Amino acid sequence: MSQLSFDGFEINAAPAAPIAPTVEPASWYKGRVLSHSSISTYRSCPQKWKFRYIDKVPEKPRSFFSFGKSVHAGLEFLFSREKSVPPTLEELLERYRTGWLREGYESAAQEKWFFQEGERILRGFFAKHKQEHARVLDVELKFTVVIEGVTVMGYIDRIDEGPKGGLAIVDYKTGKAFDKARVKSDPQLTLYQIACAEIFGRPVESVTLYHLNSLTALTVPAHPASLEAELKSSVLEAARGINDGRFDARPDERGVCQYCDYAQICPALAAKKREAPGRTADPLAPLADRFGKLDARISELEAERDALSAELKTRLSAGGVGEACGEHFTVEMKSADDGEGTYLIVRPNGSGADGGAA
């Protein structure tokens, strides 16, 4: 077990052991139990699936995975059905501290920032949703369902009692913000919908993606039968490909492959390098490499910006003020033209020019 000290207290962290699937695949299928993540990986690049699930090539730890799991564990504790009385805020934060996962952070400073960001999220979530304990049916529900002869397993963050007696599925997300268009078509939610209807024997009323950084819930009605059919088709397509041993690489023309954990051993990328014409040293190579590294961090920086934007909006609204003045910048909160929500304007102090919006 690892330890970390922040501002006088110690954090003990140990990842939970995975739970083995309990349902056997259909007789025609010689592969393994699948999940949303493994199906998505196979559909994007079968060669990557083979590296990960057959060859067991380890992946580089990622800070956003550790952060997301740590916050999710705190929310599971908050709504656990094992506790007849909901935990206090202090108990929730203590559970978060002792369950903190340390893998993947680039520096102690980055880890501390994410740790404090998680505390901010949990404090805000607790204040906003602490009264919802009674309507929660289950949290972190492990399921196995057979879809088109293939066993698929997964974990659902939260299932609530719907207002009409059906089910309301909630999936927590950290990181970059999203819109309702994603919620309406997200295949992971479709899978959860199929599983919940089978497990509980009740219809699903709604599905929600909850953006934790901004404490925003985006909810839509249950996915239509057409999306369930598409999901079943994608499960069958992936299962047959895996069963038949089709593990072709699918190089991404946008250059995404260079950030893959398996880039150094991928035969497709090696072939592309061999086929590429020889070239002399580029004097701009250092700039290109630096730009690439910065570009790879965009999602992480956007998540940090979204979190700060959400905190500013919350605190400005709570204080009944329209702007916050720092030493170098002033941030003003304005209402959107359509009356839906707010946005932030950033101005350098001592400048009359308009700043950026957030």
pLDDT tens digits for 36-68? Answer: 999 999 999 999 999 999 999 999 999 999 999
pLDDT at 183 over 90: yes
Structure confidence at residue 22 (pLDDT)? 36
pLDDT at 82 over 60: yes
CB atoms within 10 A of CB 249: 20
pLDDT tens digits for 209-245? Answer: 999 999 999 999 999 999 999 999 999 999 999 999 9
pLDDT at 358 over 70: no
**In this predicted structure, which of 159-163, 167-171, 290-294 has the lowest mean pLDDT?**
290-294
Residues 45, 46, 47, 48, CA torsion sign: positive
Is 267 in contact with 45 (CB distance < 8 Å)? no
Measured CA to CA, the distance from residue 44 to residue 49 in angstroms comes to 9
**In this predicted structure, which of 23-27, 131-135, 136-140 has the lowest mean pLDDT?**
23-27
CATH tag, 134-238: 3.90.320.10
Is 11 in contact with 74 (CB distance < 8 Å)? no
pLDDT at 270 over 90: no
pLDDT at 69 over 90: yes
Domain parsing of the chain, residue ranges:
2-20+47-132, 134-238, 299-348
What pTM was computed for the model? Answer: 0.70
Is 76 in contact with 140 (CB distance < 8 Å)? yes
* Cβ neighbourhood burial of 108 (10 Å; 0-12, 13-18, 19+): exposed
Mean pLDDT of the chain: 84
pLDDT tens digits for 17-29? Answer: 333 333 444 555 6
